[in-house]
Structure 1
């Protein structure tokens, strides 16, 4: 396997970087963009991630308009912010009718365009414009997309097919579908987008993965699903390979051994792809100079221990679980950037509370769910697990709405409603309803929710205010679970939010924004958890130790953001299965 060289991508104008959350998509895409620009190419780097962190890694403010990067000639970057895109989209739809229609009609239009579906469509509209607008395309040699974590990426890249298929099948047009207003006029643009995505001469998909089993399996799944929708020009970059290890240092030995074993057992579906690697680096991948270092073979070991965290207390995980137990928390969220370990933390909390006699239900709203991988099938009698499956929920929702509508609609009206329900927007409503129903289980048991990565989580929570308007339009019924949801989430005696992070720049800064957004919604964070901490181990490996020392500045920052902070060391063994989790985290010696 050879080291990744960005200049090998020179012949392809559209480059998509995707993969499981936390694998280094943004870092790899950013370093690639800089390298191509340094090679005298004109490059536009775009984030389509609702939880974009491009502004952190480039240390500059961004908008949905391309902005030139100081210090990198030929490079511009922009961020497709879903909320900004929705405001613009709404204004474009309603603008022509202002001063021409009564205020009450304008108000109804604004209400129709207030849901999460509008946010999704608006972001998609911006995305298609970048791929199909000749004026934009002609200005750049490359447009590089730093995409969202895999579940959202698949949804985003499938939208061109979904919308095109929907518009082909719709016999009534899309004008009365609220957020879908005017989509029929853009059919040609969407068809162009589909053609661009499936043309190997124009588009290349770069799957980014860590040398870890779950991450590689996710890359294989993404590869297969993207091939189905016509994106077959793919390569894979294995990011973060520790090229050597220190004998006698258990952390270093296991770190290297685990990576080697994962690469040896590479999923079959990835074998046919061109494979490249990038090394594990001990420095923070923020700032232009560090991105340029990424493709430099020389290693610079600089042990900097200047940051002091003496006197700051970080709790073991069992102390946090005991606090949740004593406070009788009924709804518990684990939130944070993709790849920081939300699923692992949610599983640990579930085991801890079940052991204390609580009845616990663990579920996920993450499109790329991995809860099932954390357990070996032998659950405690007090613990149940589930996943909110979008396909299942959409099918159930459609059937229920149509069944109820049969009582007071004629056949033409039913056919019309059925077309409405076949639009991709229906998924957002159906999944949100399922989310509200799961939270309502907290009347009988503790509900622990392993949430989707930050952006998707916020869109889901934001939908609480507008969801009832959408569902009321469909069938006139607002479930009690939906009516009770926001008050329940805002009740600090009932709901606990736990933010999970790594002690690194991007996860911490993104988690900080998440905490601020939650506060604006009057939802307070209970605990922060620093996961996979090398500082909490005793490694003496020069690369890993430098990485451990670099964590301290972020550990101190986290303590400033929240007083209650728990820490989980990087584990030399995979802790999988109920009994293993119980023994390792909740035995008298903490399993160590």
Structure 2
């Protein structure tokens, strides 16, 4: 099974850059690596200067590296159609239209986006034929809701299965004479589907417990506060955070820069140093990189530089 590494954080902090740099670092170390973007912004294609799709594609010019971009909206629609097909096989035509309407409404409710994305996550994790899968995730809130789903949905499946078993028991009790019930528990297709779903969620739950999680933040108060909340939420879900990446630090000016711009940069650098010290002092996860802002978009040789700055060794686990 592949190793899974997740990069998360507030929107706009540079998760895609950091995740791409780490994936490059792994590939350069000889690991067969897949980077998966689930961020609706889809900047991974921009980083590698090539078109990507929802299926893995080799990254041009980089050995051992493939990339893919999952479109959450497409996954919601795929999930909707798959649910309709599965239930349609178990229902009478008279009920099908009403069920379709209920399913359409359910997919507009909070959580539908994450549930659909979780299914795609599970497919990617189970089918990955590589050493390392790097996930560039959606902004913090959506990702944390996603990570909570395996346990939540597993318990929900248990309750549905229990109700289904009780309904079969009642049906058998109501059978007349020696007439066989139309369905028995051992061959019930709905119970079989629920069992299959539960197995998928159990796999996801175990895989996430073994995965590595890194949070990316900028040296500003809003980003730092969200990172603190994210660490606490990970703890509540029994998921650790392996490290913090501080991105987009202000470069320090040269000593002879005495103008207004130089003064601004020095004050900014001093403020950021205080915030880095706060993170190192107050946060339990270690700081694994402090990355300066670049003048140009980070790709090509600049991506190599960022990869070198990440103190996350791409060691193959046993």
Do they superpose with TM above 0.5?
yes
**Separation in 1, partners of 2:164, 2:270:** 57
**Separation in 1, partners of 2:113, 2:73:** 6
Runs of 5+ in structure 2 lacking a partner? 166-191, 310-318
- Alpha carbons of structure 1 residues 109 and 15: separation in structure 2 relative to 1, 3 Å: same
Match of 2:237 in 1: 229
Q: 1:197–1:230: 8 Å Cα contact kept in structure 2?
A: no
Q: 1:160–1:191: 8 Å Cα contact kept in structure 2?
A: yes
Match of 1:253 in 2: 266
User: What is the Cα deviation at residue 228 of structure 1?
Assistant: 2.0
Q: 1:48–1:127: 8 Å Cα contact kept in structure 2?
A: no
Helix, strand or coil for the counterpart of 1:208? Answer: strand
Match of 1:159 in 2: 149
User: What is the Cα deviation at residue 273 of structure 1?
Assistant: 2.6
TM-score by length of 1: 0.42
- Residue number among 265, 270, 276 corresponding to 2:283 in the alignment: 270
Helix, strand or coil for the counterpart of 1:157? Answer: helix
Q: 1:58–1:288: 8 Å Cα contact kept in structure 2?
A: yes
Match of 1:144 in 2: 134
- Per-residue CA deviations over 1:238-272 (Å, capped at 9, x if unaligned) read 11223422443233123212211212333754145
- Residue number among 283, 286, 291 corresponding to 2:296 in the alignment: 283
Q: Judging by fraction of residues, say which structure has more helix.
A: 2
TM-score by length of 2: 0.75
Q: 1:211–1:240: 8 Å Cα contact kept in structure 2?
A: yes
**Separation in 2, partners of 1:99, 1:220:** 47
User: What is the Cα deviation at residue 27 of structure 1?
Assistant: 0.5
User: What is the Cα deviation at residue 281 of structure 1?
Assistant: 1.2
Q: 1:41–1:74: 8 Å Cα contact kept in structure 2?
A: yes
- Alpha carbons of structure 1 residues 279 and 267: separation in structure 2 relative to 1, 3 Å: closer
User: Is 1:116 aligned with 2:128?
Assistant: no
**Separation in 2, partners of 1:154, 1:129:** 19
User: What is the Cα deviation at residue 193 of structure 1?
Assistant: 1.4
Runs of 5+ in structure 1 lacking a partner? 1-11, 175-180, 298-592
**Separation in 1, partners of 2:9, 2:301:** 25
Match of 1:128 in 2: 122
Match of 1:188 in 2: 199
User: What is the Cα deviation at residue 116 of structure 1?
Assistant: 2.7
User: What is the Cα deviation at residue 292 of structure 1?
Assistant: 2.1
**Separation in 1, partners of 2:91, 2:151:** 34
**Separation in 2, partners of 1:277, 1:44:** 24
**Separation in 2, partners of 1:68, 1:60:** 10
**Separation in 1, partners of 2:90, 2:241:** 49
**Separation in 2, partners of 1:272, 1:226:** 12
**Separation in 2, partners of 1:42, 1:83:** 29
User: Is 1:172 aligned with 2:163?
Assistant: yes
Helix, strand or coil for the counterpart of 2:35? Answer: strand
User: What is the Cα deviation at residue 147 of structure 1?
Assistant: 0.8
Helix, strand or coil for the counterpart of 1:186? Answer: helix
User: Is 1:217 aligned with 2:229?
Assistant: no
Q: 1:220–1:267: 8 Å Cα contact kept in structure 2?
A: no
**Separation in 1, partners of 2:130, 2:75:** 22
**Separation in 1, partners of 2:41, 2:293:** 24
Of the two structures, which has the highest relative contact order with CA contacts closer than 8 Å and spacing of 6 or more? Answer: 2
- Superposed CA RMSD: 2.9
